[in-house]
Structure 1
Amino acid sequence: MIALSVNLNKIALIRNSREGNYPDVLAHGRICLDAGAQGLTVHPRPDQRHIRPGDVRQLAELCRGWDGVEFNVEGNPFAEPLQDYPGLMRLVEETQPDQCTLVPDSNDQLTSDHGFDLKRDGARLEPLIAQLKDAGIRVSLFMDPILDQIDLAKAVGADRIELYTGPYAEAVARQSETLEAIFAAHCAAAEHARQLGLGVNAGHDLNLINLPRYRTLPGLQEVSIGHALTVDAINMGLDNAVTAYLNCLSGK
């Protein structure tokens, strides 16, 4: 079974456009879990444009109360504290999620758009990965489907990789002639990761149109989906959107 982890960032983004707590991120996380999602994901950034440290703390507590549910916190491990944002590493060690997905995004990036270059960043990441694993937290690295980079993900101690699916999603949307080559590269990367003993997650711009094919990726364990699922929720309701994605992942 491929797990669905619902990314709540866009719910938080809507909330932050007004004063107050509407929509309530915690309540919407609960709706997702009631609908059968196997996990929740957040990506707190230093500017707090969407998820705030308080959300991470509340959602961590929520997920701890559900059997079989995992909490995944994404972010840049090199992000420094800013105002009441304590830095990713400190926030993760405080909230103890099941999984921490390390992502190489800068503070001014609109969204994550590339995987780690571990030839450049591997030495800096290795002690941070060890620190998280010592705390009992599974570590996933956001990666492009490049085999020698995946070798390095294993070498620096990662438990899983999350394949960046943005180019795949764009190729599907544009019906690009590059689609077959892109999907083949992702399949090869997933199989290579499995041979190394790494788990395989995926995320970014996956939706109900491109997910039916991507779910056939060898050994895929988890997808993290937020933007598209939130948009679909506007049309069909959040619980129905979660159900649609669960059905898609199960091949219904």
Structure 2
Amino acid sequence: MTKLSVNINKIATLRNSRGGNVPNLLQVAVDVQRFGAEGITVHPRPDERHIRYQDARDLVSVVSTEYNIEGNPQHNFIDLVLECKPTQVTLVPDAIGALTSNAGWDTVKNQAYLKEVIAEFKANGIRTSIFVDPVLEMIEGAKETGTDRIELYTEEFAHQYGLGNKKGIEPYIASAVLANDLGLGINAGHDLSLDNIKFFKENIPGLLEVSIGHALISESLYLGLENVVNMYLQRLK
């Protein structure tokens, strides 16, 4: 079964919009795991507009499943991850002012840099994953960095699926087959939803984990958080 890691950034966005501590981010993390999710994901950004660095620290004591911290490996982020020692760190090439993640790593151009950062995390017992586009050259480059896993950037798949073009998954299948051959674990995330997750999971061989936040929290406004978590779990079986 593919694991579901719930990204709780949007809970922090809602909290920050009003000040105070409603909704309570830590309690949501506890509840999401109680509802069946196998992991919690956060993606702190330099401006802390949703997840704050202190949130990432505070979550260490309440995440009893897998803890995944995503972000651009700048100095402050590296220090945070080494302090928190999550189950997994996912490296994402976000520009500082980016609204959301919008591209995977160029694993050829940035290979030496990624190799150095990944080696430091792995030396501290932290599983590594890097955000990549479904491009075979980038998958091959990822292998050379020493990463444990890749996270396939799925925005284009979700867009094409929404248009009714199921062939949009083909580059992802090819990338997954290559990753499996190279011994890389496969995660995926970005714009995956209740509408498209079952099709994606059924077609991607060796899919270990999906990280879902924006869609899951939005769907929960109508259907309820516990219900939505379980709907994802059913689709991922």
Q: TM-score, normalised by structure 2?
A: 0.97
Aligned to 1:236: 223
CA distance in 2, matches of 1:109, 1:72: 20
Q: Does the alignment pair 1:113 with 2:102? A: yes
SS of structure 2 residue aligned to 1:246: helix
Aligned to 2:70: 74
> Does structure 2 retain, via aligned residues, the 8 Å contact 1:96–1:137?
yes
Aligned to 1:188: 174
Aligned to 1:214: 200
Q: What is the Cα deviation at residue 13 of structure 1? A: 0.5
CA distance in 2, matches of 1:210, 1:237: 19
Q: Which amino acid counterpart does residue 26 of structure 1 have in structure 2?
A: L
CA distance in 2, matches of 1:226, 1:158: 24
Q: Does the alignment pair 1:138 with 2:134? A: no
Q: Which amino acid counterpart does residue 185 of structure 1 have in structure 2?
A: P
Q: Which amino acid counterpart does residue 241 of structure 1 have in structure 2?
A: V
Deviations 1:139-159 (A, max 9, x none): 000001111111111111110
Identity %, equivalent residues: 48
Aligned to 2:188: 202
**What is the correspondence of 1:10-25 to structure 2 with a 5 Å cutoff?**
10-25=10-25
Alpha-carbon RMSD across the aligned residues, in angstroms, is 0.9
Aligned to 1:103: 92
CA distance in 2, matches of 1:242, 1:132: 30
**What is the correspondence of 1:16-165 to structure 2 with a 5 Å cutoff?**
16-63=16-63, 66=64, 69-78=65-74, 80=75, 87-165=76-154
Aligned to 1:84: none
Q: Which amino acid counterpart does residue 94 of structure 1 have in structure 2?
A: E
Q: Which amino acid counterpart does residue 84 of structure 2 have in structure 1?
A: T
Q: What is the Cα deviation at residue 132 of structure 1? A: 0.2
Aligned to 2:211: 224
Q: What is the Cα deviation at residue 175 of structure 1? A: 2.0
> Does structure 2 retain, via aligned residues, the 8 Å contact 1:31–1:238?
no
Aligned length: 236
CA distance in 1, matches of 2:170, 2:66: 29
Q: What is the Cα deviation at residue 237 of structure 1? A: 1.4
CA distance in 2, matches of 1:212, 1:36: 17
SS of structure 2 residue aligned to 1:127: helix
Q: Which amino acid counterpart does residue 121 of structure 1 have in structure 2?
A: N
Q: TM-score, normalised by structure 1?
A: 0.92
Runs of 4+ in 1 over 2 A off after TM superposition: none
CA distance in 2, matches of 1:141, 1:97: 15
CA distance in 2, matches of 1:33, 1:99: 17
Aligned to 1:83: none
Runs of 5+ unmatched residues, structure 2: none
CA distance in 2, matches of 1:239, 1:56: 23
CA distance in 2, matches of 1:53, 1:194: 34
Deviations 1:174-196 (A, max 9, x none): 224xx40x311101101100110
CA distance in 1, matches of 2:52, 2:148: 26
